[in-house]
Structure 1
Amino acid sequence: MNQLEDLLQQIRACRICEEHLVLGPRPVLRASTTAKLLIVGQAPGTKVHASGKPWDDQSGKRLRLWLGLEPEVFYDESKVAIVPMGFCYPGKGKSGDLPPRPECARHWHQQLLTLLPNIELTLLVGKYAQDYFLKDKARPTLTQTVTNWHEYLPAFMPMPHPSPRNQFWVKHNPWFEQDAVPYLQKQVKQLLS
């Protein structure tokens, strides 16, 4: 077993924050040393928790549309690594799911990212991923960070969350689908071809 496979096995057996998880632990992620695209989202929702397959919901459909990827390419972990900020479903809050549990990033992310040497583009889906990866370069709001997406290239592409709940944001920021999405599709196609 190689180092990455060993680490993924440890992560999938992780119980660090079990006492805080209403549905119990079920870490959901995918990674390979050959992956060139890394997608960092928030945390699995209930549907993904049930299936164990990342982005296996309406948000995933929109994300694949934005990327211009068919499911068979999106789920090819030799090309696309999917590492959320929190690996398990965090539970329900007042206006949607709770934030990702912080233990995952603190305990696992650096170890994992070190073993993904071929990543050329990291998609930062949502404010939690943007704040973690961009640190002081992230703007105060998601909209400000995503509006300035050019500044973070070629390593990072900040994005809004593709959730149907985020339809208001997408509708009020049409430039994202008009300008950023075509650029993203072109980059992803070149990267994975």
Structure 2
Amino acid sequence: MEKLFEKIKDCTVCSAKLQFGPRPIVSASKTSKIVIIGQAPGSVVHKTGIPWNDKSGENLRKWMGISKDDFYNPQKVAIIPMGFCYPGKGKTGDLPPTKECAPLWHKHILDEIDSVSLVLLIGSYAQSYYLDKKAERTLTQTVKNYRNYLPNYMVLPHPSPRNNIWQAKNKWFAEEVLPVLKKRVKSILK
């Protein structure tokens, strides 16, 4: 796996698209039990090199009911975004993840992990890529029908504070989905 991560670290396939240049942020080990597939690193993560090192990460850890120590332990949790590098700012927020990383690297990384018990598909980019035609028409419908994707996948909205309005409109998410997520994470990591 070390050689694979060296290749990823040196990757420049989409560097012309990246406003701040390549800085791949990805973490995994052969023993990772949970895989988190989100969008792409944000500006804070690009600066620090630490995945989910922002408010979104705080929310995600709370949703999962997991400590920082466990979250950042690649023996337990792999972090494999759809785009490994910060794509830069757009008119209404961060640009979408680059499309090159997932088809180029995901299968290679996932093939190196011995036994994944759960994959968290966070946001529409990850859900569209991995669920393809099995995804519902909208992210809300996909998340509402989360049981259709268990036991392999848990589908979630992005935990960004920008999605607080979505969560307020969809109270069923905190009442129904998050307890299932916490229970699964706890049983996998015990």
TM-score by length of 2: 0.98
In structure 1, which of residues 103, 107, 112 is the aligned counterpart of residue 104 of structure 2?
107
Q: Which sections of structure 1, spanning at least 5 residues, go unmatched?
A: none
Matches within 5 A, 1:141-152: 141-152=138-149
Give the C-alpha shift of residue 117 in structure 1. Answer: 2.5
Letter of the structure 1 residue corresponding to residue 79 of structure 2 = I
C-alpha separation between the residues in 1 aligned to 2:163 and 2:133? 25
Cα displacement string for residues 112-158 of structure 1 (whole angstroms, at most 9, x for unaligned residues): 11112311100000000001111110111100100000010000000
Q: Equivalent pairs: percent with the same residue?
A: 52
In structure 1, which of residues 167, 171, 174 is the aligned counterpart of residue 171 of structure 2?
174
Partner of 2:188: 191
C-alpha separation between the residues in 1 aligned to 2:52 and 2:128? 21
Q: Secondary structure in 1 aligned to 2:155? A: strand
Give the C-alpha shift of residue 107 in structure 1. Answer: 1.1
Cα displacement string for residues 19-47 of structure 1 (whole angstroms, at most 9, x for unaligned residues): 11111100001000101100000000000
Partner of 1:86: 83
TM-score by length of 1: 0.97
In structure 2, which of residues 25, 30, 34 is the aligned counterpart of residue 33 of structure 1?
30
In structure 1, which of residues 26, 41, 44 is the aligned counterpart of residue 41 of structure 2?
44
Give the C-alpha shift of residue 72 in structure 1. Answer: 0.4
In structure 2, which of residues 57, 67, 70 is the aligned counterpart of residue 60 of structure 1?
57
Give the C-alpha shift of residue 182 in structure 1. Answer: 0.8
Matches within 5 A, 1:154-165: 154-165=151-162
C-alpha separation between the residues in 2 aligned to 1:81 and 1:111? 13
Matches within 5 A, 1:129-144: 129-144=126-141
Aligned CA-pair RMSD: 0.7
Matches within 5 A, 1:4-43: 4-43=1-40
Q: Secondary structure in 2 aligned to 1:26? A: coil
C-alpha separation between the residues in 1 aligned to 2:171 and 2:9? 38
